[in-house]
Amino acid sequence: MIASKATAMKPLEIVVFYTDTAEIKFDECIPPTAKLTAHRLTEACNQTEYTFGKNSVVVIWDTTHNLLGMRCLEAIRRYQVKVPVLVVAENPTETYILAALRLGAHNLLRISATTTEIRQAINDLVQQPPQRWHAKQSKWLSGLANLATDAWQTLVQASQKIQRQDVLGIVPPQTLPFFNDKLEKGYTADISAQFFGNLRVHIKGKAAPEIKGKKNAEVLAYLLYHHEKSVHKDVLMEKFWGHVNTVSARNSLNVSMCHLRKHLSSVYPDGEVILYDNDSYCINPQLEVVTDIDKFMYLWKKGRTIENTQGLHQALHPYNKAMEVYKDDFLTNIRYEEWCEAERDKHKETYLFILHRLSTHFFDQKDFDQCVHICQRMLEKDPCLEAVHCKLMACFHHLGLHDLASKQYAKCEKILEKELSLSPSEATRSLHLSIKNGKLPSG
């Protein structure tokens, strides 16, 4: 009892995360006895950990037209699952609301709400136990205009049938800026960037001309890929000009930024794409950025969620769409940058995993022609995948192409010796022998 009373005596702490341009009279919106701390959203999204007390309430005050507030909330939820959160947003879209629902916001108000309404919402969070994410969805969705009927039906059906949030196929904002099917339907954002293959950028629907200078392209690619956060100038100097002295690196960075701004102004003369503040560069947070990486990761996550809940067959559509998005390896024109290599390997592994799931389905369904096609795509990316060579051998056998099955074994044997100085495993040799003897069981 004593501990309980001591806890109750602790003052209420209101932690506000706000946008740079917001003009908020915080003292009018919070109880007079509460302790107030405030942080900018742009800074909050770069934090790696948050710690709140038992009497804390978080207020995210978001005047942006992107998902900056939701990125902040996602960062908070990684470490503080239960802290009550009130989101105050300017004209929240369907996308924004779905993100808030998935990330466990306890209430959502428009910025046009009165001071009294905001203060009451904070008091409600203090006095009432947090409700589950789907408890308020009907009120939220029905109270906001221009929401798609199919999204509403999806949420209603999901809340009636399931208790797990991830069944909806929603993933964190840092890897997915949209929580509906807009990405699948060719949604056009302020900035669209293609990273699979050579870098290509569209701003407001206009294609940016090819960037002159390899370093300029690398810097722009890095900023666009990390568009959800600011990057300190020292990081850019070290990453792209670490081999020269500090003065030369700073001059090179300044020249590169000048070139990029001039380059981008040719397709976006009405504003700045790259901003500089507090010794850091970032893509203008007022511009919505969507990349083919976003779409690829969205489809992969969606496919995994559907496969885990409904089976592999139901996940074929998102897996196939993801396969189509992967036009080529990540930034093929920027081959030897360390950060590119790491991302390239990561996305290639995801691509190979998707192909593996597709090949598994086609093999199980005895659609050996399709399975051959998928396996060949896998070997184009990694010719040392011994299990894929085996699956190809089995497919050729079932298709009656016994010579091709033998040739596939020879290819496997040759590539393993050349690349890895290895011989095929006992299982692979046994499979090859069975195919030669015509003893491979069907199915």
Mean pLDDT of 435-440: 80
Give me the amino acid identity at 48. Answer: T
> Model's pTM, two decimal places?
0.60
Identify the H or E element spanning 416.
Answer: helix 402-420
The CATH H-level (homologous superfamily) assignment of domain 292-436 is Tetratricopeptide repeat domain (1.25.40.10)
For 161-177, what is the HEC assignment? HCCCHHHHCCCCCCCCC
CA distance 316 to 160: 25
The CATH number that domain 2-168 falls under is 3.40.50.2300
Is pLDDT larger for residue 180 or for residue 38? 38
The token duo for 212 is 């002159």
Identify the three-state secondary structure at position 231. strand
Confidence band of 127 (pLDDT split at 50, 70, 90): low
- Say how many residues make up the chain: 443
Q: What is the CA radius of gyration of the chain?
A: 26
The residues spanned by each domain of the chain are 2-168, 191-290, 292-436
Q: What is the pLDDT of residue 153?
A: 40
- Of the CA atoms within 13 Å of residue 5, those in its CB half-sphere come to 2
Mean pLDDT of 171-188: 46
Q: What is the pLDDT of residue 160?
A: 40
Confidence band of 52 (pLDDT split at 50, 70, 90): confident
Fold for 191-290, please state it: Arc Repressor Mutant, subunit A (1.10.10)
* Dihedral of alpha carbons 92, 94, 95, 98, sign: positive
Tens digit of each residue's pLDDT (9 = 90 or more) over 242-277: 889 999 999 999 999 999 999 999 999 988 999 998
Q: Do domains 2-168 and 292-436 have the same CATH topology?
A: no
Find out whether 287 and 240 touch, Cβ atoms under 8 Å: no
Confidence band of 109 (pLDDT split at 50, 70, 90): confident
